[in-house]
Amino acid sequence: MEKKIKIGLIGLGTVGTGVVKVLKNFDNIEIKGVAVHNINKPREVEVSNLTDDPYKLVNDPEIDIIVEVIGGCNPALDIIETAIKNGKHVVTANKELLARHGAYIFDLANKYNKVILYEAAVAGGIPIITPIKTTMRVNEFESVAGILNGTTNYILTKMEEEGLSYKDCLKKAQDLGYAETNPTSDVEGYDAMYKIATLANIAFNKRIDINKIFKEGITKITKEDIDFANELGYKIKLIGLARKTENGKIDVRVHPMLVEKDNPMAKIGNALNAVLVKGHPIGEVVFSGPGAGEFPTASSVAGDILIIASELNKYDEILPMARCNHTEFANQVDILDTENSYYISITAKNIHGTIGYIGTICGKNHINILSILQKGLSSDHKSARIIVITEKCFEKDIQNAVKELENIGENDEKFISINNIIRVME
**Which residue, 223 or 323, is less far from a second copy as judged by CB?**
323
Task: Give the total residue count for the chain.
Answer: 426
CB of 215 to a second copy, least distance (A): 27
Is 127 near a second copy (CB under 8 A)?
yes
CA nearest to 275, candidates 189, 186, 210, 199: 199
CA nearest to 143, candidates 24, 8, 245: 245
**Which residue, 29 or 408, is less far from a second copy as judged by CB?**
29
CB of 158 to a second copy, least distance (A): 16
- Give the amino acid at 143: S
Q: How far is CA 87 from CA 61, 63, 109, 315, in A?
A: 9, 9, 9, 14
Q: Give yes or no: 195 in active site.
A: yes
- Give the amino acid at 274: A
Identify residues 128-187 at the interface with a second copy (CB under 8 A).
129-131, 134-140
SS3 396: helix
Is 390 near a second copy (CB under 8 A)?
no
**Which residue, 183 or 303, is less far from a second copy as judged by CB?**
303
CB of 279 to a second copy, least distance (A): 8
CA 369 to chain centre: 31
Per-residue DSSP letter, 292: S
Rg over alpha carbons for the chain, rounded to the nearest Å, is: 24
Identify residues 240-269 at the interface with a second copy (CB under 8 A).
264, 267
Is 281 near a second copy (CB under 8 A)?
yes
The string of DSSP codes covering 52-104 is S-HHHHHT-TT--EEEE-S-SSTTHHHHHHHHHHTT-EEEE--HHHHHHHHHH
- Active-site residue identified among 88, 133, 195, 235: 195
The string of DSSP codes covering 138-174 is T-EEEEEEEE--HHHHHHHHHHHHH---HHHHHHHHH
CA nearest to 255, candidates 400, 181, 146: 146
**Which residue, 271 or 405, is less far from a second copy as judged by CB?**
271
Q: How far is CA 46 from CA 21, 64, 311, in A?
A: 9, 22, 29
Only one of the segments 51-59, 293-301, 330-338, 398-406 lies at the binding site for a second copy (rule: CB under 8 A); that segment is: 293-301
Is 288 near a second copy (CB under 8 A)?
yes
Is 298 near a second copy (CB under 8 A)?
yes
Q: What is the crossing angle of helices 294-312 and 14-23, to 10°?
A: 50
Among 185, 299, 338, 383, which residue sits at the site for a second copy (rule: CB under 8 A)? Answer: 299
- Give the amino acid at 230: N
**Which residue, 26 or 394, is less far from a second copy as judged by CB?**
26
**Which residue, 71 or 127, is less far from a second copy as judged by CB?**
127
Binding mask 10-49 for a second copy (x = CB under 8 A): --------x--xxx-xx-----------------------
Is 290 near a second copy (CB under 8 A)?
yes
What number of chain residues touch a second copy (CB under 8 A)? Answer: 52
Quick check: 148 and 191 in contact, CB under 8 A?
A: yes
- Judged by the rule CB under 8 A, the positions of this chain that interact with a second copy are 18, 21-23, 25-26, 119, 125-127, 129-131, 134-140, 264, 267, 280-290, 293-296, 298-300, 302-304, 306-307, 310-311, 314-315, 317, 320-321
Q: So which residues are the catalytic ones? A: 195
